[in-house]
Amino acid sequence: MLYGIAETLKKNQLSITDSRKKILELFMRTNGALAHADIEHQSGTEFDRVTIYRTLQTFVEKGIIHTIPTADNSVRYALCKDQCSAGKHHDDHVHFMCDACGTTYCLDHVVVPAVVLPKGFTVTQTDVVISGTCKNCVQ
């Protein structure tokens, strides 16, 4: 992680509040992606559900985190790397979701191969979503 918590919030012109610090910290401590429910549980009853929703929204808008499409259409969020900027997220991104444990990985070092589209289609974002068994769940 290149920036600290307070630093990241300041850089994005966000007030430094307890909920934002805690939620951002949670993302920085977590290797994979988080669902809203994960955050709600892990932060206890400390914050209102609405605050968590709004915080996640804000983080997405600022390009601090991004949403991950999953095969089961559950909403998950993960920290963005540097190439993310507000509004415009990663153009290429491989995500892996384990069918067994549900952990979602950002495989940033895996190269997304170029896809050739029919004429008339313009690409703004390519997501590769892989489901399967992760290294911790293979026996």
**Cβ 77 vs Cβ 33: under 8 Å:** yes
Nearer to its own copies, 44 or 118 (CB): 118
Q: What's the CA gap between 74 and 87, in Å, rounded?
A: 21
Which chain residues interact with its own copies by CB under 8 A?
67, 69-75, 94, 96, 99, 107, 110-136, 138
- Please tell me whether residue 130 binds DNA under the rule CB under 7 A: no
Calculated CA dihedral for residues 96, 97, 98, 99, nearest 10 degrees: -130
Q: What's the CA gap between 44 and 27, in Å, rounded?
A: 15
44 dihedral zone (left: phi>0; alpha: psi -120 to 50; beta): left
Q: What's the CA gap between 1 and 96, in Å, rounded?
A: 21
Q: What's the CA gap between 72 and 127, in Å, rounded?
A: 15
Nearer to DNA, 54 or 134 (CB): 54
Nearer to DNA, 92 or 102 (CB): 102
- Please tell me whether residue 101 binds DNA under the rule CB under 7 A: no
Contact track, DNA, 55-94, x by CB under 7 A: x-xx--------------x-x-------------------
Q: Per the structure block, which two tokens stand in for 54? A: 């709004």
Contact partner, 14, from DNA, its own copies, none, Cβ < 5-8 Å per class: DNA
Contact track, DNA, 16-55, x by CB under 7 A: xxxxx---------------xx--------xxxxxx-xxx
CB of 111 to DNA, least distance (A): 30
